[in-house]
A and B are shown apart, each in its own frame.
Chain A
Amino acid sequence: MTSESLGAAASDFPALLRRHGLLNEAALAAPALANPSAANFTPTQATTILAFKFTGGVLVAGDRRATAGNTVVYDRADKVLEIDRHSIMAIAGVPATAWEMARVLEHSLQYFRRTQLQEMSVDGKVRALSKLLRDNFGFVVQGIGVVVPIFATYDFAGAGQARLYFYDAMGAQFEVAEYAETGSGSPAVRGVLFYENRWGKKPLQKLSEQDAVTVALRALDTAADADTATGGVDRNARIFPIIKIISCDGIKTLPDKQIAARFKSTVA
């Protein structure tokens, strides 16, 4: 019941869960799709997310669609997940794995803060997600549990700045200076963001919040046009992308109304 182990192990939440048998490792040894029926199994997938830095911090946006093969499973999926007061994990990939990963990460950071009486460093948080991705590699090899997240946070060290990372499915993290995108709609998004950053009226980092929202909505609209798995704006059902902004003050979720107005005036 009490933790008699000392040091780092005592503050590691996944290790605690394993000790209690509450966290299963993805079976690395299992051969890929050994079961013939597994070959027909199509996991649910979440799609396009993007993030970029602007004058007000870092903006993270995602469409709302989840698909399995050609089927739309869900049109109100939330892929932009708050991990703590200043961190967001946005996910593309299999939500079953990704949401669980986000849950473990969220609890890990809180557990660390509560037990160690200090906030985990940004490097520590980035590494914690990397470890979760590596632990998930068994599912990746089997082709049924790929998760490719973006991690955005605010770093209070030094003068303070927004930090932005994307990952590959094996857990390598890459810090970016300007923008990141993943998911099936990401080629289109990447083109839009590259274009805006290079030849737009202003580079992304100089954009006001209003203009940043416009760019995010246009990028997602472009992706939805090119990629069937990306949900666009559903005007009848009033489903809009999720947009969150991280600054030194914390995380702000833009209300649908504001996004709708912006969409109407600058995108539609």
Chain B
Amino acid sequence: MIEEPYRWVEAIANRREYIETQLAPGSPIAALSFRDGILFVTVGRARQKLFEIYDRIAMGAIGHPGDIERLRMAAIELASTEGFTRSAGDVSLRRLAFYSLSPLLKTAFEQVYGAPYLARMIFAEVGAAPADDLFLRVEYDGAIAAGGSAADAKPPRFSVISGTARATERMEELLRRDHDSNNTLKTALRVALDAWSVGSMTADEESAGGLPSPEALRQRRAEEFKGATIEAGLLERSSTSAIRYRQIDAEELQGLTSA
């Protein structure tokens, strides 16, 4: 089937279409800088979608749990061996994503007789100040996008992933409007949840025109939260411990989301 170049291109296109269909229902994930660190937020039903990778690196992913697991393990293995043989300071998200994960994903994606990774990931690395924070979106085909579009002079300190390109666009649109790196955790969480709601609304309906009103977003959330829970984690900017990632537990979330 793939002896001819045209067939190979066709096979790749089919595979891309198949993966996009599989990823489409994925619950969006938003990661954004705030004053004291980086906040990851999503809403899920059962399985965990936010993970600690190393001292200052965390990841969120949508896709097939088995594939996410393999990629997560690969990332932790790489970071841990690097951190052990050299030092924790030598572990860098940029190197991890560009030199290790991207080639791995691209190879799997283009070998049409093998199975590709069904996963879309968002990584963040916390720095000393919001300007040093790094966000990377890593696609199933190995493509990597830094937070926001390349056209922006000042890259925004946030990144999102969702099931569809349209939902991602709309989430970014909202974050460009509402996000501020100097927000408190409470405000950052509200903005991140707004972004999630926009993404989740866009996935469900034909959404033309501007962003929905804050009331519409809140109403949407109230409906969604009946059968699901917020999952949130954060990378702390400064801490006495080298390990910066922690999950925000239900009790703390309750306090943060109450008006």
Contact = CB atoms under 8 A, between A and B. Distances in A.
Interface of A: 1-3, 10, 13, 16-17, 20, 22, 85, 103-104, 107, 110-111, 114-115, 117
Interface in B233-259: 241, 243
Nearest to A22: B85
A85 B243 CA distance: 9
Given A107-B80, A107-B83, A2 B52 contact: no
Interface SS of chain A = helix
Contact of B76 (A85, A103, A111): A111
A113 to B, nearest CB: 8
Nearest to A3: B73
In the complex, which of the residues B71, B73, B243 has the most CB atoms of chain A within 10 Å of its own CB atom? B73
Contacts of B77: 1-3, 16
Interface in B47-104: 48, 51-54, 70-74, 76-78, 80-81, 83-85, 100, 104
A117 B104 CA distance: 24
B98 to A, nearest CB: 15
Contacts, number: 49
Interface size class of B (residues with CB under 8 A): 20 to 34
20 contacts: A2-B70, A2-B73, A3-B70, A3-B74, A10-B73, A16-B81, A17-B84, A85-B241, A104-B84, A107-B80, A110-B243, A114-B53, A114-B54, A114-B76, A114-B80, A115-B72, A115-B73, A115-B76, A117-B48, A117-B51
Given A22-B85, A85-B241, A117-B48, A16 B80 contact: yes
A264 B16 CA distance: 73
Contacts of A13: 80, 84
Given A114-B52, A115-B73, A1 B100 contact: yes
Nearest to B240: A250
Given A85-B241, A114-B53, A117-B48, A107 B74 contact: no
Of all A-B residue pairs in the complex, the 3 with the closest CB atoms, nearest first, are: A2-B74, A107-B84, A111-B80
